[in-house]
Amino acid sequence: MSEKKRAVMTVADRWLLPDGIEEILAPRARQAEMLRREMLDLFDRWGYELVIPPHLEFMESLTAGVGHDLELQTFKVTDQLTGRTMGLRADTTPAVARIDAHTLKDKGPVRLCYVGSVFHTRPASLGASRSPIQLGAELYGHAGVESDIEVISLMLETLAAVGIESPNLDLGHVQIYRSLVEYAELSEDQEQKLFDALQRKAACEVSELLADWQVASGTANMFKALTSLAGNASVIGEARALLKEAPEAVFKALDQLEMIAGKVAELYPSANLYLDIGELRGYNYHTGVVFAAYVPGQGQAIAKGGRYDGIGRVFGRARPATGFSTDLKTLIELKALLDLKAQTSEERMTIFAPVDADPAVVQKLRRQGQRVVCQLPEQETDAAGTGCDRQLVCRDGEWVVV
């Protein structure tokens, strides 16, 4: 290889970013920052306190109580001071749970929110960012459906703030499957295999597995029903009929799901509710209701969450918990796709001040909230070349904006 080619490759290596890692440039960076502030103000109006967890923690803290999947998503490094393994957070929720359980130690309900980059070893879906800006809210210390309804409502308000008024909202409850597994006395291996089949709604595979394991026909039929029990609110009644032999915990979960769906429909009639009795999203992590918001054209959920009681146990204090998260980058893109202006036309306007402009006039304009870019000595670009749509000019000894 020639020295010239080697030099070119070296330069390219210096500016090339890893797949799934992207930078946000102007004006999108400013839009992202404005939206970040808007969202935190929204959360604040609901009583959620902002916390900023560290990006880097010991692996034991980052993955405590959240399953093996998150560990696979975590970048790992060695702490040069202790020799222990540390990780860049792939999800902010465990860190916030640690703050609630170990640092704050409040006895009553605690509302916390956060926004910051997380890092994934692999994209969560095809084409997804490996460095999303996770925005979320968590409510600790209350086990009732009222807190689930509050968190779902806040998620819908978050989406409405970027113009998504009618998302498709999927609701499920992982305790239904969990209770049936316990009732059927399935082994951990059987539970996992059946879980995989149910996630894919593979009805034939579910039937084959249950037949191979010689699960009683009544119990097997209840598992099979989970592949098709989905639709509007009427599916709750169908579920009660098809799962009539199920343990009491299943009916308690159905009651909770019905209450949550009814209240959300009342508060947000424009949301399109879809109930899936066999929904198992986050099964190894969530303990109760799970929910996710979708919009046309997006194959993955744009916001999601659920109940995850007991996560604080690994930090010394078990607490009921529910929350949701979304990606600020996704919200920015959706806002652009919906042709919603991230800023008003007045906010986007920028004034070009020539090199000889009166500094006092420039200072006054900026204090009035105007955006002013000053020309520098020997600068070749004019107002248009600097991205300005207005400029300061001197007329009859007075500086005016034209």
CA nearest neighbour of 96 among 147, 140, 56: 140
The pTM (predicted TM-score) of the whole model is: 0.86
The pLDDT of residue 343 is: 45
Q: What is the signed CA dihedral for 211, 215, 220, 223, rounded to 10 degrees?
A: -100
Q: Looking at the predicted structure, is the pLDDT value of residue 218 above 70?
A: yes
- The pLDDT-based confidence of 5 (bands split at 50, 70, 90) is low
- The pLDDT-based confidence of 348 (bands split at 50, 70, 90) is low
Instruction: Please give the Cα distance from 186 to 30 (Å, whole number).
Output: 53
The pLDDT of residue 320 is: 94
Q: Residue 392 class from Cβ within 10 Å (0-12 exposed, 13-18 middle, 19+ buried)?
A: buried
Percent residues over pLDDT 70 in the chain: 93
Each residue's pLDDT tens digit, 291-339: 999 998 888 999 999 999 987 787 888 899 999 999 999 999 898 777 5
Segment 97-105 mean pLDDT? 89
Segment 41-49 mean pLDDT? 96
Percent residues over pLDDT 90 in the chain: 63
CA nearest neighbour of 138 among 47, 262, 230, 35: 47
Q: Which residues contact 194 (CB under 8 A, 6 or more apart)?
A: 181, 186, 206, 209, 210, 223
Each residue's pLDDT tens digit, 59-95: 888 877 666 678 889 999 999 999 999 999 999 998 9
CB-side neighbour CA atoms (13 Å) of 89: 22
Q: Residue 203, SS3?
A: helix
- What DSSP assignment string belongs to 318-363? ---EEEEEEEHHHHHHHHHHTT--SS-HHHH--EEEPTTS-HHHHH
Q: Looking at the predicted structure, is the pLDDT value of residue 184 above 90?
A: yes
State the sign of the Cα–Cα–Cα–Cα dihedral 38, 41, 42, 48. positive
Residue with tokens 């402009």: 357
State the sign of the Cα–Cα–Cα–Cα dihedral 118, 122, 123, 127. positive
